[in-house]
Amino acid sequence: MVRSEAEAQDVVQETFMSAFRKLDSYRAEAPFRGWLFRIASNASLMRLRTRRRRPEVSMVLRRPSCSEDDCHQRPVVDLRPLVSKSLEDEEPGERLRRSTDALPDKYRSVLVLSDFDHRAMKEIEEELGLSVSAVKTRLHRTRLSIRKDLEGYLAGQV
């Protein structure tokens, strides 16, 4: 089910944390081992569902496979100088919050449902009464707007 030892360790930790939190719901007439295995099974299944909804993306930068004439390219910003600064304070989060708060409601709602509530496109479609393509378009435009708003800060210029 899980792909690596680290992921298995995470599932085990989640299992014991969940068992500890739900210990008062354990019925003494049932075997403890079976109860604990059921919790482990559920933790593993939740891990798989999360992986399906939000697949892991490689962080390796690759060169575009298209020519310069038919490819949109953005400059890659080196964020390494900001790492220590962002660990020291909460300014990046506050900048992002202000940028998000400045969005019009129709764009902010799509962003919150997708990126913060981890809702599927179909769920957002039903909740907002939009088509899936309209949801994707709004989400894309919202992310571009936030990126543009934060570009100077992320480049270390502000």
pLDDT (tens digit, 9 = 90+) per residue, 26-50?
888 888 888 888 888 888 888 877 7
What pLDDT is recorded for position 132? Answer: 92
Q: In angstroms, rounded to a whole number, what is the distance separating the alpha carbons of residues 90 and 95?
A: 9
Could you tell me where in the chain the CATH 1.10.10.10 domains are found? 80-154
What pLDDT is recorded for position 79? Answer: 64
The SS3 call for residue 61 is coil
Asked if the model's pLDDT at residue 130 lies above 80, the reply is yes
The larger pLDDT score, comparing residue 130 to residue 68, is at: 130
| pTM to 2 decimal places | 0.43
The larger pLDDT score, comparing residue 85 to residue 136, is at: 136
Q: For residue 138, with 0-12 CB atoms within 10 Å meaning exposed, 13-18 middle and 19 or more buried, which class applies?
A: buried
Which listed CATH number (1.10.10.10, 1.10.3720.10, 1.20.140.10, 3.40.50.720) goes with 80-154? 1.10.10.10
| Angle of CA points 4, 8, 14, to nearest 5° | 145
